[in-house]
Amino acid sequence: MRREKVMVTLFLVLTLAGCLLLFLTHPNQRWLHKPLAVMPWRWLGVAFVLAGLFSAVSYLPVNAALFAWLVIMMLVIGLLPFAALLKEDGGEKHRGH
């Protein structure tokens, strides 16, 4: 039981961190003034996301792990752009207003 909890936590943390790194390397992100460099950070994000998938496969059936992995990635990558609206300036500084 303890091993499963560790693997679930590892799955979630790696997948979320990987999606965040992938998002922050995109030129259209509005969290940072300048996107992260592609070379080390995007590849690290891909490695984290894939490691998250492999950790999910270690305790779930492959089809369930793949489904959960894809759903989490779609949810996180779909909602991350809207998180910039929660900043105090509301993203106005970046739009030229």
d(CA 79, CA 11): 19
Residue whose pair of structure tokens reads 């995007």 in the numeric block: 42
The pLDDT tens digits for 2-58 are: 888 999 999 999 999 999 999 999 998 888 889 889 889 999 999 999 999 999 999
Q: In terms of residue numbers, what domain contains 67?
A: 2-95
Helices 62-83 and 2-24: crossing angle in degrees, nearest 10, is: 40
Amino acid at 84: A
Determine the residue type at 78. G
The Cα 96–Cα 3 span in angstroms is 50
pLDDT of the residue at 91: 52
Q: How many domains does the chain have?
A: 1
**Cβ proximity of 65 and 57 under 8 Å:** yes
